[in-house]
């Protein structure tokens, strides 16, 4: 039996739902990372759960040696096509993050845009950060970009509608126990398709404990892509930059 993210990320619909992803946000986050880590040009960068390669492409454009990993053939193919069109060399790899072993080390590893917490158990989710630590060179950096649960609870939009060219996307969001669950209904020509997302909720303290357990020392914690300090009530994101 496949897990929700294997089914959902492999659909054409996924990119329709997230087509609003902001390139300016991606550039701001790239700039924030580069400002806070010491990286020479040509340094090896690993993008975990790269999706369609938005952030990988920015790093490759700036002369870094990029490896990008995702479980979705659909998203990897989109990333490969974009990289080819831009004449960028990116090593795209299909893998479940729980099973990743590349037998090489990286100067920077990134896990961005809430690409963490997909798995059912805390042990499985924690293994992703341990795996990242094992793939880092000494003094290498790991960056995690996740939602801030306090802000999310206070600003959750239970239902939203979004028009697409030939239909409607309806999204229902609810916090159930320790997970944020989203149900997505996509209706085209009277035919409705239904998908799910389910992401484990973590507090700042829980995320920090994963880093410590993996031998990573936290350097900075930011609350948004512009580099403002993290504030529990008002920061939409929690961006942790750590060093091995």
Question: Which tens digit of pLDDT belongs to each residue from 217-241?
Answer: 999 999 999 999 999 999 999 999 9
Q: Is 220 helix (H, G, I), strand (E, B) or coil?
A: strand
Same domain, 10 and 45: yes
Whether residue 188 is predicted with pLDDT greater than 90 in this model: the reply is no
Same domain, 227 and 187: no
Report the predicted TM-score, pTM, of the whole model to 2 decimal places: 0.94
Residue 171, domain extent: 152-197
- Confidence band, pLDDT 50/70/90 cuts, at residue 21: low
Same domain, 25 and 122: yes
Whether residue 1 is predicted with pLDDT greater than 80 in this model: the reply is no
Give the mean pLDDT of the chain.
93
Q: What is the CATH number for 75?
A: 3.40.50.150
Whether residue 18 is predicted with pLDDT greater than 90 in this model: the reply is no
Q: What is the SS3 string spanning 18-62?
A: CCCCCHHHHHHHHHHHHHHCCCCCCCEEEEECCCCCHHHHHHHHC
End-to-end CA distance of the chain, in Å?
36
Task: Give the mean pLDDT of 96-123.
Answer: 94
Which two tokens mark 208?
A: 């920090």
- Confidence band, pLDDT 50/70/90 cuts, at residue 13: confident
- Confidence band, pLDDT 50/70/90 cuts, at residue 120: very high
Task: Tell me which residue of 9, 11, 19 sits closest to 51, measured CA to CA.
Answer: 9
Task: Give the mean pLDDT of 143-147.
Answer: 97
DSSP secondary structure letter of residue 38? -
Q: Is 131 helix (H, G, I), strand (E, B) or coil?
A: helix
CA-to-CA distance for 44 and 145, rounded, in angstroms?
19
Whether residue 143 is predicted with pLDDT greater than 90 in this model: the reply is yes
Which two tokens mark 147?
A: 């939602």
Contacts of 126 (CB under 8 A, 6+ apart): 210, 213, 214
Same domain, 189 and 210: no
**What pLDDT score does 167 carry?**
85
**What pLDDT score does 19 carry?**
63
Whether residue 12 is predicted with pLDDT greater than 80 in this model: the reply is no
Same domain, 96 and 189: no
Same domain, 220 and 181: no
């Amino acid at each position: 039996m496949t897990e929700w993210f294997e089914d959902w990320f492999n659909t054409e619909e996924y990119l329709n739902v997230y087509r609003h992803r902001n390139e300016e946000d991606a550039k701001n986050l790239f700039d924030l990372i580069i400002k806070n880590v010491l990286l020479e040009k040509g340094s090896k960068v690993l993008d975990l759960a790269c999706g369609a390669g938005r952030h990988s492409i920015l790093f490759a454009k700036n002369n870094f040696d990029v490896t990008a990993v995702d479980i979705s053939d659909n998203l990897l193919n989109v990333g490969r096509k974009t990289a080819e069109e831009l004449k960028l060399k990116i090593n795209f790899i299909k893998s479940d993050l729980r099973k990743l072993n590349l037998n090489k080390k990286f100067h920077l590893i990134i896990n961005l845009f809430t690409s963490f917490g997909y798995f059912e158990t805390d042990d499985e989710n924690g293994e992703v950060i341990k795996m990242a630590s094992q793939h880092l060179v000494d003094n290498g950096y790991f960056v995690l970009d996740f939602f801030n649960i306090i802000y999310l609870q206070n600003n959750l939009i239970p239902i939203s509608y979004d028009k697409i060219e030939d239909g409607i996307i309806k999204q229902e969001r609810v916090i159930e126990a320790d997970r944020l669950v989203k149900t997505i209904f996509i209706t085209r020509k009277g035919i409705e398709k239904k998908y799910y997302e389910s992401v484990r909720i973590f507090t700042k303290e829980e995320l920090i404990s994963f880093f410590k357990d993996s031998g990573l020392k936290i350097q900075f914690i930011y609350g948004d892509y512009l580099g403002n300090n993290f504030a529990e009530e008002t920061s939409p994101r929690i961006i942790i930059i750590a060093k091995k």
